[in-house]
Chain A
Amino acid sequence: MGLQVTGLKVYYRTLRGDVRAVDDVTFGVEDGEIMGLAGESGSGKSTLGKSLIRMDSRMRHVAGRVDLDHKELPIADDEDMREFRFKEVSLIPQYAMSALNPTRRIGRMIEELLRSRGIPFDDVRSELNRRLELVGLDPEVLTRYPIELSGGMRQRTVMVLATLLDPSLLIADEITSALDVSTQRAVAEALVGFRDRGFVDSLIVITHDISLVYQIADTIMVMYAGKLAEKAPTEVLVNTPRHPYTQALLSALPEVGVRYEGKRLAGIPGSPPSLRNPPAGCRFAARCPLAFGKCAEEPPFVEIEPGHFAACWKAS
C-alpha cells in the first residue's frame, strides 16, 4: 500500500535541450506517512510533486513508474489521470488564490466541481460542513466570495476541498510559505489532523523550510538538483544527517536563540548546477567539502540503515 515511485524521470522540454528536473528518482511513502519533501528552489521538488498528479504541457515523462496502492498511475496520460485526480491523488497548491474561482461563491464552486466528477453536492454537504468546522471555519464561508476571506482561511478552505473525497495521497506544495507564523502553525497542524482522522492516507509536504516539516512530518526527504540526496525518519535526518548537503543545509539555518556574535553560521559556497547539462557523477560534488575522486561516479540512493537512505559515497 501507499505510494511507490520507481526510476521516475521528468524533464522540461526547452529550445536549448531538456532540463532534467526530476532525474531517476526512487522512493516510497507508506500508508499513514507524512513525508516532508525539502529542497531549495530549482531542486525539482515541486516538479516531482506536480508530476504525481498532473504534468503541464512543458513537462515530459521520460521514464519510470508510479504505483499508488498497487495500481499504476498513468501519469503520462492527461486523460487517463482524470479518474485518479481528486479521488485518489489530490493537491493543495501554494497559492490558494489560484485554486479558487474569484467569480463564484465558494459553495457554488465546490458544487460545480463535484458535479463535474458526477457526485451530487447533497451527498457530501454535511461532511463538508463538519470538516470546515474542524479546521475552524464557519460553514457560512460557502456563501462568500474568495476575496472576502483571509489568506489563512482560503488556504484552509482549499485543504478541506482537496481532501473531501478522502484521497489516498495528498500533495501539499509550499502551502504555508505565504502565511504568517501563527496561521502557518494552524494550517500545518490541520494537515496532521487530516491524516489522524483518516481523510488522507499519505501526505507529501513540499517545502523549502526544513524546520516546518520537522514539526509535522514522520519522514523527511531532501532533494538536490533533480536527485534525491537523503531520506530518513524526521528525528534521524535532523539529528544525524549523513549526506553532506543535508548537513550543510541544516547548519545554515538560524534558530531562535542563535546570535551572530555568538555563533556565526556558514552558508554553502557556490550554486547548484544547471539541470540542462548536469555534470556527471554526484551533482553536489562541486560544493561538497568531502568530495573525492570517486564522486565523479554517481552515488546510488541506498539504504544505509533501516529506513535511512542517502546518495553519497562517504555515507554508506
Chain B
Amino acid sequence: MLEINGIGKVYRVGVLGNTRVNAVREVSFALGPGEVVSVIGESGSGKTTLGRMILRLTPASTGTITFAGKDIAALRGRALKNYYREVQGVFQDPFSSYNPVFKADRVFAMIRAGYFPGLSGAAWRTRVTEALAAVRLTPEAVLDKYPHQLSGGQLQRMLIARALLLDIRVLVADEIISMLDASTRIDVLNLLGDLKERGLAIVFITHDLALGNYISDRTLILRRGDVVECGATGAVFGNPVHPYTRRLLSSVPRLHKKWGQVAAELTEPPGRCPVHANGSAAALVEVAPEHQVACLAAGADQPCPDGVTAGHADR
C-alpha cells in the first residue's frame, strides 16, 4: 500500500547553506494494511524527518514514496487532499497541536469544514461520536472544553480521533507516547493495537525500544540517517547483530534486569561483517529470513570487523 523506495533527505546548513547534512539516507520499506512498522532512533537519527516526508510536510531529496501506486511527490490540489484523507499524522506534544484560545474540539470542526462540507449536522455528530468511541473517549468528557481542561492523554486521543474522522489507512505516529504518564501510556498503545486490528497501517516513530517492541511487526533501527538493522521485530530484538542495536538494547533501563546483566548477555563478538565479508555492494544484507543488517562499523570513521571503513565523505 505505502512503499518507500531509497528515500533520502539532504539539508543544507551553515551560513551560506554550503554544508550538506544527510538527515536520512536510502531508507526503504513497504507497509501493508494492518501492519505496524516502528522506526527507532536516538535524537538526530532522522526518524522525524522520515515521518514528515511520508506526510509530505518535507519534500524528499532522493527516492520515492508511493501510496496506492502513485508517487506522492507528484500529487497536487484535489489529489493531495485525497492523500490526506487516507494518510494522517499525530505528533509528540499534544498541547502544541491545539490553539489554547479555542476549544479543543475545533480540530474536529476544521476537518468538517475541510473535508465534509456537505454532511448534515446529525450525520457529523454520529461520526464524531464513533471516532471518539474508537479512542475510548465520551463526547461529554471532551467536547466543548478548552485544551487546558483536558489531560495530555485525552488530548492525544482526540488527535487520533481527529485522524479517524477521515477514512485513514496510514497513521504516522511520531513519539505520541513519550509525553504521557506511565498509567495512560499503555492505553494509547493498546488503542493503536486495536486500530491495527481494524486494518490501519501505522508508522510508529519512537526512541523507546520497549514501546516499539510492544506494538510493531517490523522494526527499523536508524543511526544518523542510515538504517543499521531492520526486519521482523522478534528477530531484531531477539537476535540483534549490529553493535549499535546491541548498545541501544543494553542501555534501555529495564525492570528486573540490571544494565550490567544485559550487557553481559550481549557480549559475544559480532563476528564478520555481513556486508563486507562477501564483498556485497548492498547497504543492507539479509542475515536471516526477514532480518537485514548494515555494515557493522561502529561509526562512520571506524572500520568494520572486515577492515572496511564506511567513510561517508559528507560526515
Contacts and interface: CB of A to CB of B under 8 A. Distances in A.
Interface of A: 40-41, 151, 180-182, 184-185, 188-189, 208-212, 214-215, 238-239, 248-250, 252-260, 264-268, 271
A181 B190 contact: no
Nearest to A251: B186
A152 to B, nearest CB: 10
B254 A265 contact: no
B259 interface: yes
Contact of B215 (A209, A249, A260, A267): A260
A254 B213 contact: yes
B182 A249 contact: yes
Given A238-B255, A260-B215, A181 B181 contact: no
Given A40-B183, A260-B190, A181 B213 contact: no
24 contacts: A180-B42, A180-B43, A180-B207, A181-B207, A181-B252, A182-B42, A182-B247, A208-B182, A209-B182, A209-B253, A210-B182, A210-B255, A214-B256, A214-B258, A215-B254, A215-B259, A249-B182, A254-B189, A255-B256, A256-B209, A256-B252, A257-B237, A258-B213, A260-B189
Contacts of A214: 253-256, 258
A184 B251 contact: yes
Contacts, number: 109
Nearest to A40: B181
A235 to B, nearest CB: 9
Contacts of A211: 253-255
Interface of B: 42-43, 151-152, 181-187, 189-190, 193, 207, 209-211, 213-215, 233-234, 237, 247-249, 251-256, 258-259
B207 to A, nearest CB: 7
**Interface residues of B, dominant DSSP:** helix
Given A248-B183, A254-B186, A260-B215, 12 more contacts: A181-B207, A181-B248, A185-B259, A215-B253, A253-B186, A254-B214, A256-B209, A256-B237, A256-B252, A264-B190, A267-B187, A271-B184
B249 A238 contact: no
B256 A41 contact: no
Contacts of B43: 151, 180
A267 B252 CA distance: 21
B60 to A, nearest CB: 25
Given A215-B258, A238-B256, A258-B213, A253 B190 contact: no
Contact of A256 (B151, B185, B189, B210): B210
B42 A181 contact: yes
A265 B211 CA distance: 12
A267 B255 contact: no
Nearest to B184: A267
A47 to B, nearest CB: 16
B185 A252 contact: yes
A11 B166 CA distance: 45
B253 A249 contact: no
B85 to A, nearest CB: 27
Residue from B42, B234, B249 with most neighbouring chain A CB atoms (10 Å): B42
B219 to A, nearest CB: 12
A157 B7 CA distance: 38
A211 B257 CA distance: 9
Nearest to A211: B253
A265 B188 CA distance: 11
